[in-house]
Structure 1
Amino acid sequence: MGVPGATARIDRPRRAVAMMVFVVFLDLVGFGIVVPILPYYVRSFGVGDVFIGLLAATYSLTQFLAAPALGRASDRWGRRPVVTLSLAGSAVAWTVFGLGDAVGEVAGPAAGVAVLFGSRALAGAMGGNIAAAQAYVADVTPPERRAGALGLVGASFSLGFIFGPAIGGALASETAVRLASSLPIPATRFSLPAFGAAAMSLAALAVTLVALEEPSRRRSTGERSSLVADFATALRDTDLRGFVVAFFLVSVAFAGVQVMFIPFVADTAAYRFDASAAALLLTYVGVLGAVNQGLLVGRLAKRFGSARLAVVGAALLAVALAALPFAPALGGFLPPVGGPAWVTRELVALLAVLAVLSAGNGLLNPSLATLVSSNASAETQGTAFGVTQGAGSLGRTVGPPVAAALYAVADWSPFVLGSVVVLPVIGLLIEAVRRR
């Protein structure tokens, strides 16, 4: 696909990376704000929980369709215009999402649910801007520092999911609704978090317009291609094909586990966690992810290389997924644990497994992104990231409903299947190490 590793010209590359990471962080905080209220929002319309899964699939499906197009557009027209457009679209999507219950009161529950689906479809399409953000970071970062810079983008994801749900919970509280009741907006426990997410997108848009500089680089001048054509081109390219498949498989495994993790810790006799306790677990995983991707990946990649790091990350992820449903049994092999009564051996075992899972995911994702960048030419970075992000979105569309169906049969099965799905990724990455 051309000469990889070329860096675009920009006056202050470190500042440019910091600004883009901050923009992604603000955008992901907005996404995380809505996470705590989403299931309850759907249920408020009197529909079944299946609509929760369908709503999540709608977001991922439109992200799958849009990510390659946005990545390709960023190659041709620039990273900054695409990020600007997508953030403005996200602000509109979250605002409309917050109006769903008001529409439902006037036009009926079916209309309200339709508003939710329409807004989530738009939000998913605009969520494809991550491809442009990754391409921007790759543009302004030399190859030897690219893994660390892309790791910071991954860390911003983790930080967004640490702060976002906490803000969303606060905005959904009775106190927040009471304080906002005098404002000229629909103030409910569902609308306020959605409007908060819109505000975060607008804040990210302001930072982009004021502080984000477009790098000077060679632009793609090729003819417009289709989603199918982009994927076909990537799958024919021996340097990119394995990474596209890897993004898909990892997303299938990880998205399925994310969806069923909360039901697992709520249903398992050794835990019986409520929503607050489960949220603390997610915060724990998010903090570990931020540390792994923000501090460790860059240093380790310089010493061992991104390909080897990706292999280790995939192996750790496979082990952790297989061990997760058996954490209560593994806790039985640990010595007695002192401290408060709630600190049990089963909990310690679960925290250890989650630490391995976070380490595996933290090493794998930025390393995969770095490998994609190093195998794409300077003018096709956005297209390459768009295709791989599209493959990831497709995996996040497939994984949750499959995992939910398996969980109904046997609670351990989605986790073990996730581990099995990751095994071919290890083989693909070992082949990448061999070629390099």
Structure 2
Amino acid sequence: MSGSRGGAGPDGTESGPDANTDVDQGRALATLFLVVFVDLLGFGILIPVIPLYALSFGANEFVGSLLVAVYSLFQFVFAPLLGRLSDERGRRPVILISLFGSTLAWTLFGLAGELGSLVGAANGLVILFLARALAGAMGGNIATAQAYIADITPPEERARGLGLLGAAFGLGFIFGPAIGGLAASGPALDTVGALVPWAPITEFTLPSFVAAALTAVNLVVAAVVLPEPDRTRSETGDQSRIEALVGALRTPALGVLVVSFFVASFAFSAFESQFIFLTNDLLAFGTAENALLLTYFGVVIAVVQGGLVGPLTDRFGEYRLAVTGATVQFVTLGLVPFAADWGRSLELVAFAGLEPWQTGASVALALVATPLAFGNALTNVSLNALVSRTASAETQGGAFGLTQSAGSLARTVGPALAGALYSGVGFWTPFVVAGVLFGPVVVLLGRLERDALVTGDEPASASTGPAEPSDSEHVSGGR
């Protein structure tokens, strides 16, 4: 991407690279990619650790699930606050503070047993919850990273920049659990335990310390390399987050995008949370087999978000990609459980330790998962790009904070309701319901695209230049 391109923001103020002559766009994008990747890497490292760690303190499965959910809950609360703070005080300080907080959170998580006894708790479960809450609050920095992209890129290149952040998400979830599993292995525990015999090294604490160390390195790199972009400073009032959300929902364009983001996140989190239960029950897949499937799924998302979204946006525009992605998920999500069930009858050759019927089921799942991952990648990046184009230049952080907050709330309640459907009704129900939920998203985004075409606000390709949103589409962005 060229660093010489720029233009006026939606409200007529300068934004993009021309307003950031002191910012090397390529370096800033690379640093942001690293920040988000390592942030999600730390999150992913602890995915296989959190439930078992809670059980080791005497918690039951319900409490362990709450420990998982508390991250998204606090991300929901703090994402718009960090986004608004970045509008007021700067992107760089918020990113650095959030990285410091994440380092502290992962460290506390690893020291829960020792600290629990010091503060008088019967065990370290209270410390675990505090650490997860702090990590979730600091996880709201994604909105600030998205706003940073909007600051340094012209509108026609924004989807490509946001796609890079999406790729960082995918890669973090691909490599994080693998690193966590490696850190919890016997050789790693023996080696590190011999090097630091005074440290509480267990299969649960070492992955936490690895996440903390990676985030600390990330903090140092960002502090040295990441500059503060030029942006439009704004004077904010005392409007509450709830008032901002209600105001955003009343804004025609942004309201549709926030609702679509919530429903899409709710539906997809329902799918993700039940997928391993499905493959375990129907296909007798363990950790290794599921890791292989999820890695493939993550690779598809990363490739689409990091490499294909930009060219597709240039050709078709964000609206059409968002509608297309939601439509693909509407069709494919409900097919997942039936593909797994039907695939067992495909007696294919044994592969990688799988039985022939398991190989057949894996192929059937892959045939459905490929377009599903493609649709998910299109929807996520396109919705974020549309939010950026709808918000005014000085409210990018607040607007992204609202959508990130909506997504976090959806990821808090979606898995719980999906689990109730899976265990109480049938294995296929959460997947079918998740697919059906994308129907309203397709309708809402289709109407938004139609209105944009009628009013001439459809984002154009890079060759024709971007269309600016109308004044009615400007949003408060959390104010």
Q: What TM-score bracket applies, with the shorter chain setting the length?
A: over 0.9
Matched, 1:355 2:370: yes
Q: Which has the higher contact order (CA 8 A, sep 6+)?
A: 1
Matched, 1:9 2:20: yes
Deviations 1:360-392 (A, max 9, x none): 111110000000000011100000000010000
Computing the radius of gyration from Cα coordinates, the structure with the larger value is 2
Matched, 1:297 2:297: no
Matched, 1:95 2:89: no
Query: In structure 2, what is the Cα distance between the partners aligned to 1:131 and 1:168?
Result: 26
Query: In structure 2, what is the Cα distance between the partners aligned to 1:59 and 1:425?
Result: 26
Matched, 1:417 2:440: no
Deviations 1:149-168 (A, max 9, x none): 10110000000111111111
| Structure 1 partner of 2:4 | none
- 1:106-185 alignment, distance < 5 Å: 110-182=122-194, 183=196, 184-185=198-199
Instruction: Kindly state the Cα deviation for residue 14 of structure 1 after the two structures are TM-superposed.
Output: 2.2
Task: Give the count of matched residue pairs.
Answer: 433
Give the conservation status (yes or no) of the 8 Å contact 1:328–1:350: yes
Deviations 1:114-140 (A, max 9, x none): 111111111101000000000001110
Query: In structure 2, what is the Cα distance between the partners aligned to 1:361 and 1:267?
Result: 25
Query: In structure 1, what is the Cα distance between the partners aligned to 2:24 and 2:138?
Result: 28
Query: In structure 2, what is the Cα distance between the partners aligned to 1:38 and 1:78?
Result: 33
| Structure 2 partner of 1:430 | 446
Query: In structure 1, what is the Cα distance between the partners aligned to 2:439 and 2:85?
Result: 34
Stretch moving more, 381-390 or 140-149: 140-149
Secondary structure at the residue paired with 1:187? Answer: coil
State the one-letter code of the partner of 1:266: N
Deviations 1:153-207 (A, max 9, x none): 0000000111111111111111111112241321111111011111121122112
State the one-letter code of the partner of 2:390: N
State the one-letter code of the partner of 2:276: I
Query: In structure 2, what is the Cα distance between the partners aligned to 1:260 and 1:4?
Result: 46
Change (3 A) 1:251 1:173: same
Instruction: Kindly state the Cα deviation for residue 428 of structure 1 after the two structures are TM-superposed.
Output: 1.2
Pick aligned residue for 1:242 from 256, 265, 270:
256
Instruction: Kindly state the Cα deviation for residue 294 of structure 1 after the two structures are TM-superposed.
Output: 0.6
Query: In structure 1, what is the Cα distance between the partners aligned to 2:117 and 2:96?
Result: 33
Stretch moving more, 183-192 or 369-378: 183-192
* TM-score calculated relative to the size of structure 2: 0.87
Give the conservation status (yes or no) of the 8 Å contact 2:107–2:212: yes
Secondary structure at the residue paired with 1:30? Answer: helix
State the one-letter code of the partner of 1:63: Q
Query: In structure 2, what is the Cα distance between the partners aligned to 1:264 and 1:109?
Result: 37
State the one-letter code of the partner of 2:15: A
Pick aligned residue for 1:375 from 390, 404, 413:
390
State the one-letter code of the partner of 2:161: A
| Structure 1 partner of 2:474 | none
| Structure 2 partner of 1:399 | 414
Query: In structure 2, what is the Cα distance between the partners aligned to 1:2 and 1:224?
Result: 22
Give the conservation status (yes or no) of the 8 Å contact 1:9–1:215: yes
| Structure 1 partner of 2:38 | 26
State the one-letter code of the partner of 2:438: V
* TM-score calculated relative to the size of structure 1: 0.95
Query: In structure 1, what is the Cα distance between the partners aligned to 2:241 and 2:123?
Result: 31
Deviations 1:268-312 (A, max 9, x none): 1xx110111111111111111111111111110110001100111
Matched, 1:386 2:401: yes
Instruction: Kindly state the Cα deviation for residue 85 of structure 1 after the two structures are TM-superposed.
Output: 0.6
Change (3 A) 1:3 1:327: farther
Query: In structure 2, what is the Cα distance between the partners aligned to 1:63 and 1:137?
Result: 20
Instruction: Kindly state the Cα deviation for residue 239 of structure 1 after the two structures are TM-superposed.
Output: 1.9
Give the conservation status (yes or no) of the 8 Å contact 1:79–1:133: yes
Pick aligned residue for 1:77 from 73, 89, 92:
89
Matched, 1:314 2:326: yes
Give the conservation status (yes or no) of the 8 Å contact 1:3–1:376: no
Instruction: Kindly state the Cα deviation for residue 339 of structure 1 after the two structures are TM-superposed.
Output: 6.1
Structure 1 unmatched runs, 5+: none
Instruction: Kindly state the Cα deviation for residue 99 of structure 1 after the two structures are TM-superposed.
Output: 1.1
Query: In structure 1, what is the Cα distance between the partners aligned to 2:177 and 2:341?
Result: 31
Deviations 1:55-87 (A, max 9, x none): 122111111000010000011111111111111
Give the conservation status (yes or no) of the 8 Å contact 1:5–1:142: no
Give the conservation status (yes or no) of the 8 Å contact 1:376–1:384: yes
Change (3 A) 1:418 1:390: same
Pick aligned residue for 1:194 from 208, 212, 216:
208
| Runs of 4+ off more than 6 Å | 105-109
State the one-letter code of the partner of 1:84: L
| Structure 1 partner of 2:228 | 214
Change (3 A) 1:202 1:98: same
Pick aligned residue for 2:79 from 67, 80, 85:
67
RMSD of aligned Cα (Å):
1.9
Structure 2 unmatched runs, 5+: 1-9, 453-479
Instruction: Kindly state the Cα deviation for residue 330 of structure 1 after the two structures are TM-superposed.
Output: 4.3
Query: In structure 1, what is the Cα distance between the partners aligned to 2:204 and 2:277?
Result: 22
Secondary structure at the residue paired with 2:123? Answer: helix
- 1:49-60 alignment, distance < 5 Å: 49-60=61-72
Instruction: Kindly state the Cα deviation for residue 104 of structure 1 after the two structures are TM-superposed.
Output: 5.4
